[in-house]
Amino acid sequence: MSIPKTTLLLVVCFSLLLTALTVSLAAAQKAPTFTTIDFPGAIETEANGINDSGTIGGTFADASGVIHGFQATGRTFQMVDFPGATATMVYGINTQGDVLVGSYIDVAGVTHGFMFSGAYTTIDPPGSTFTNALGINNNDEIVGTFVGPKGKFHGFHDFAGNFTTLDAPNGARATELTGIQKFTDLGESGIYIDSAGIEHGFFAHKNAGTHLRTF
């Protein structure tokens, strides 16, 4: 008994469709392409942040071992050094690529947070003895961590010099904010160490119109 031509045509079409789907899935599962990023002349390079345009902020050590920050667009590198600092580290970059955040070490060995937007601005929550600015969103709201007068690590949120402290609940030993949502400050992520000394990641959601965060 012969198979109708319409049936054969359907079988062929199904086979072609199945082949196309298999090829598409294989392409989707293809391993990502890695591109090495090394600041020219560096002996060590870290890429710490990236924005939607692919501009990268990071840190490198030069041939003398001095630590600098950098911004890279493609293969164009710009060094970032806080004036008078002995070391500068860049951790975050906004979507526009015109604001960087990080930390620097001054001549007295104290670590401060900073923002660079054509000019350098120190970021230190009140009473801080150590500050790292780690993330920034499109509203130039900055998050990070600082050590208070009693030696405890706290998270902080900074908007135009107005600081809010964030501590994880239940007796957490330390809290660090590492990220903030791109277009709003309603969501922040980070790390905390609980009362037993175990490290956890977290997401904190701020209730709209308030400064209260829900863990």
* CATH (domain of 205): 2.120.10.30
> Which 3 state secondary structure label does DSSP give 117?
coil
Return the number of other C-beta atoms located less than 10 Å from residue 87's C-beta.
19
Residue 133: inside a domain, yes or no?
yes
Residues 190 and 156 in one domain: yes
DSSP lists the bridge partners of residue 79 as 70
Q: What is the pLDDT along the chain (215 residues), one digit of tens a residue?
A: 454 545 434 433 444 444 444 445 445 567 778 899 999 999 999 999 999 889 999 999 999 999 999 999 988 999 999 999 999 999 999 988 889 999 999 999 999 999 999 999 999 999 999 999 999 998 999 999 999 999 999 999 999 999 999 999 999 999 999 999 877 656 899 999 999 999 999 988 766 443 445 55
Residues 98 and 153 in one domain: yes
Residue 209: inside a domain, yes or no?
yes
Total domain count, the chain: 2
Cα(104)–Cα(116) distance, integer angstroms: 12
Residues 104 and 7 in one domain: no
Cα(120)–Cα(134) distance, integer angstroms: 16
Residues 55 and 24 in one domain: no
> Which 3 state secondary structure label does DSSP give 147?
strand
Residues 17 and 75 in one domain: no
Residue 36: inside a domain, yes or no?
no
Residue 14: inside a domain, yes or no?
yes
Cα(181)–Cα(27) distance, integer angstroms: 31
Residues 99 and 4 in one domain: no
Residues 163 and 89 in one domain: yes
Residue 39: inside a domain, yes or no?
no
User: What's the whole-model pTM score?
Assistant: 0.80
CA distances from 72 to 37, 50, 79, 113 (A): 9, 9, 9, 20
Residue range of the domain that includes 24: 1-30
The pLDDT assigned to 77 comes to 97
Residue 37: inside a domain, yes or no?
no
Residues 12 and 101 in one domain: no
Cα(91)–Cα(144) distance, integer angstroms: 10
Residues 87 and 184 in one domain: yes
Which parts of 117-197 are beta strand (E)? 120-123, 130-136, 142-147, 153-159, 162-166, 174-180, 187-193
* Residue 171: partners with Cβ closer than 8 Å, 6 or more residues away: 194, 195
The amino acid sitting at 149 is: P
Cα(5)–Cα(183) distance, integer angstroms: 58
